[in-house]
Structure 1
Amino acid sequence: MVAPALAADTTSCASAPGVLRQAAATADAAKADKALRLVAVGEKLCAAGGRGEAAKKFTAAARALDTDLATIPANAPSAQ
């Protein structure tokens, strides 16, 4: 059985980068740059199996954009 936190982290690795990139596209350039750097680090952590740490980076990226992952539309295209 997969723990709920682990399942949430898996979803974050699958969807958060695309959602955050879409939000960054309409943000202030400085905020978008910081957020995109955090997203890139989060993606590398996901690839290395560090899903919990990646989730923290995605949350920080959302904060850099003055938002929360929960408030960003979930239908944003994810990065491939």
Structure 2
Amino acid sequence: MRVTFLSIPLAFAAAALTFAISAAPALAGSAPQATPAEICATAPAALRTLAGSAAPNAQRLALRDVNTGVALCEARNRAEAVKKFNSAAKALGTDLATAMAAGTVTASLD
């Protein structure tokens, strides 16, 4: 009888610990995402910079999507603009978050 009283709370504790351990990476990876307005402001310049060193075909595809995305941002259709920016980043062989991060990093050695 005592074994049952001890084993049930231990089983619940083990289950809770297992859940907490498995959920920790998902919670840690949920960094705040950029808003569509922020993407419209920063993504075009970052993607155009990356396109400058890309292969001609990838550059053509990326710049076409960037220009379409800019037009969509101006038309306040930011959700579709983000899709176009994602497509441009994919054509350049990266993802949008990486492209935007690469575009914002500046260093100066004087």
- Give the TM-score category using the shorter length: 0.7 to 0.9
Encode CA deviations 1:31-78: one digit per residue, 9 max, x unaligned: 00000000000000000000000000000000000111222214269x
| Structure 1 gap segments, 5+ residues each | none
Structure with the larger helix share: 2
2:66 is the alignment partner of 1:39? yes
2:104 corresponding residue in structure 1: 75
Q: Comparing both chains, which one has the higher relative contact order based on Cα–Cα distances under 8 Å and sequence gaps of 6 or more?
A: 1
Encode CA deviations 1:5-51: one digit per residue, 9 max, x unaligned: 7x610011000000000000000000000000000000000000000
2:89 corresponding residue in structure 1: 62
Runs (4 or more) in structure 1 with deviation over 6 Å come to none
Tell me the distance in 1 between the aligned counterparts of 2:43 and 2:105: 9
TM-score, normalised by the number of residues in structure 2? 0.61
Kept in 1, the 8 Å contact 2:59–2:92? The answer is yes
**1:18 corresponds to which of 27, 45, 58:** 45
Tell me the distance in 2 between the aligned counterparts of 1:8 and 1:32: 25
- Which protein is bigger by CA-based radius of gyration? 2
Tell me the distance in 2 between the aligned counterparts of 1:47 and 1:76: 26
| Structure 2 gap segments, 5+ residues each | 1-31
**Number of residue-to-residue matches in the alignment:** 73
TM-score, normalised by the number of residues in structure 1? 0.83
Tell me the distance in 1 between the aligned counterparts of 2:52 and 2:91: 13
